[in-house]
Structure 1
Amino acid sequence: MRRKLRVAAYAVCVREGQILLARSPGPDGTPEWVLPGGGMEHGEDPYDTVRREVTEETGYRIEVTGLLGIDSLRFAGSRRFGRRTDHHGVRIVYTGEVTGGELRYETGGSTDFAAWQDLDAVPGLVRIPLVDTALRLWRERPPTGHTGPGSRPLPQEMNEE
């Protein structure tokens, strides 16, 4: 089984009871809300990644104001080119404060829209699970930077080649 590691950095930007989110097409094409952020480039510091990605996806410049935690996700992907892939995502979640720029939408990237959403409205949005994880980190501020139990067990089929 092919193995793939992706490290990414995201920002929770909250002001006046709203959170900054970006919209991305989901696996089936249905739009879903995501945190602004994304994958690190080789040699890039995660702190720089989150600032770059927020600007790319929303038009805003941010100051990183804290580290909320790190989330990890592992799953087996579908067969591609005759092989299954064991995906492992490491997601670094920061808090950020908008310091400049103007809200705009990304063109030619992974998102197509950005907006401030009321925190109370988030449960009714079509969103990726990382939004809920990040909001839980933001609300609870666990000293370990982790919201759940230890490592998640792998499904049996992931261990099969």
Structure 2
Amino acid sequence: MRKKLRVAAYAVCVRDGQLLLARSPAEGGGYEWVLPGGGMDHGEHPNDTVVRELEEETGYQVEITGFLGMDSFHYPHLRRFGRTTDHQGLRLVYEARVVGGELRHEIGGSTDMAAWHPLDEVPGLTRVRLIDVALRLWRERPAVGRVPE
């Protein structure tokens, strides 16, 4: 069985009580909101990954202001492209602030839109689980960099 590990870096950007999110096509149709960020290229430092991904997906240049923690998920025996894969994802979550650029939508990438959302409206959005985990990390700032599930 093939084993696959994907490392990705994401950022929580909060400004004036709003969270920066990107929109991505959902499996099965429709869209869901995601944290801006994505997969780390081979040889790339995760800090550089999150800065690059935020610029690609939102148009903003950001400065990392802290490391909030990580989230890991494991899907053994995931069947993709006709073969079985034991998949694990490691997601590093940073805090960042916008230092330049202008909000724009990604063209030809994994997301199609970026927008600011009031923090109190985030629970009502169609969103990925990582947003909830990241907001807990941001609010609670656990010393171990992990929130219980």
**Superposed pair shares fold, TM > 0.5:** yes
Equivalent residue, structure 2, for 1:115: 115
Which entry has the higher C-alpha Rg, 1 or 2? 1
Alignment of 1:1-161 (within 5 A): 1-76=1-76, 78-148=78-148
Deviation digits for residues 53-86 of structure 1 (CA, Å, limit 9, x no counterpart): 0000000000000000011011136423442211
Q: Name whichever of 77-86 and 52-61 sits farther off.
A: 77-86
Letter in 2 for 1:87: H
Aligned-residue RMSD, C-alpha: 1.2
TM-score calculated relative to the size of structure 2 = 0.96
**Count of residues paired in the alignment:** 149
Q: For residues 14 and 78 of structure 1, what CA distance do their matches in structure 2 show?
A: 34
Letter in 2 for 1:88: Q
Q: For residues 92 and 63 of structure 1, what CA distance do their matches in structure 2 show?
A: 15
Give unpaired runs (5+ residues) of structure 1.
150-161
Give unpaired runs (5+ residues) of structure 2.
none
Q: For residues 38 and 129 of structure 1, what CA distance do their matches in structure 2 show?
A: 15
